[in-house]
Amino acid sequence: MTLNQKIRNLRPTDIVFIVAAIICLAPFISSPIALILGFTLASFGLVPTQFNLAALTKKLLSYSIIGLGFGINLNEAIEASRQGLGLIISSIFFTLFLGWVATHFLKLDKKTGHLIAAGTAICGGSAIAAVSPAINARDDQTSLALATVFVLNAVALFLFPAIGHLLEMSQHAFGTWAAIAIHDTSSVVGAAGSYGDEALKTATTLKLARALWIIPVAFGSALLFKGDSKKISIPYFIVFYCLAILIAHFVPQFHSTYILIFDASKRLLVVCLFLIGSGITVSKLRNAGHKPLLLGVVLWLAIGAASLTYIELFL
């Protein structure tokens, strides 16, 4: 079926969904509201089935992150990465080790536990998608890990900014915490964006530096589980994000255009969170089960509390 045929076959409920997505471009719609709106429409069966929304979300998220690169100062990005490198590395290895111990203690399936730990340690669904084929994980193992991460991402989008304001965290401190302790890049950028532009820039830079660890962790996972290292997917959008930062730095005469791209990318990200919300259903939450969710919560609380303590003491 062609795109024109799909458009002609749109139902009134599908049009409601599309209008809601367009409304999310408006400045008065925040990331948490967009997520709730998507989840609400999904709960009432108002999500179109003729479009591959998962693939669309992945593409739009990549484009929005690349666009954010045009608003990042190169010198600030280098300094933020340098300061946060130790925290990134230590948090990744701490989470993976704790995940291995907790998986054994909970008597959870080893591959499911490892996928949840990898998603928590690096970047949520993207890490799970990269590691899953490398360890030859079954569809049900991957789905359980993704459902667990989706639930915690949704909570983080509301919880983290509230805690940040309660503790009166600075923009830089909150951006660092969000980048370390929230799973998916979408929720990291959504939470940080609602906190402020400086928090957004810090969080995006550190989060993508953290996301680069997908590759070595996926290779290590393939060796650990005797899987296939040739099936590892590389997040190329990170390369284009870095390229956008370089373009903005070395071709400064188009600064006003870069600001427009940066602002448009922030709004596009809100639409991405709406689409992510539309993929979260009650059945997915039920299928997550209590053990995978318990593991996810334990890892999340551990890395969240540990990184927050470090940031409050040393940043």
Taking the chain (315 residues) in runs of 10, the rounded mean pLDDT of each run is 64 87 92 88 85 84 89 86 88 96 94 95 86 86 84 91 96 95 91 93 91 87 78 75 93 95 92 86 70 93 95 88
Question: How many Cα atoms within 13 Å fall on the side-chain side of residue 305?
Answer: 6
Question: How many Cα atoms within 13 Å fall on the side-chain side of residue 51?
Answer: 22
Phi, psi dihedral angles at 187 (to 5 degrees): -75, -35
Q: What is the pLDDT of residue 44?
A: 87
Q: What is the pLDDT of residue 169?
A: 97
Contact criterion met (CB below 8 Å) for 269 and 35: no
Element (H, E) at 136: none
Using CA atoms, how far apart are residues 181 and 121, in angstroms rounded to an integer?
Answer: 8
- Give the residue extent of every domain in the chain: 3-314
CA angle 60, 179, 109 (to 5 degrees): 85
Structure tokens, 115: 């996928």
Using DSSP, state whether 257 is helix, strand or coil.
helix
DSSP 13-71: HHHHHHHHHHHTTSTT--HHHHHHHHHHHHHTT-S-SSS-HHHHHHHHHHHHHHHHGGG
DSSP 65-125: HHHHGGGS-HHHHHHHHHHHHHHHHHHHHHHHHHHHHHHHHHT--HHHHHHHHHHHHTTHH
Q: What is the pLDDT of residue 229?
A: 61
Using DSSP, state whether 58 is helix, strand or coil.
helix
Contact criterion met (CB below 8 Å) for 156 and 135: no
Element (H, E) at 218: helix 214-224
Alpha helices by DSSP H, listed for 107-196, are 110-121, 124-134, 139-166, 171-181, 185-195
Q: What is the pLDDT of residue 43?
A: 85
Q: What is the pLDDT of residue 3?
A: 56
Using DSSP, state whether 2 is helix, strand or coil.
coil
Which are the contacts of 81, defined by CB distance < 8 A and separation ≥ 6? 205, 206, 209
- Note the pTM of the prediction, 2 decimals: 0.86
Report the length, in residues, of the chain: 315
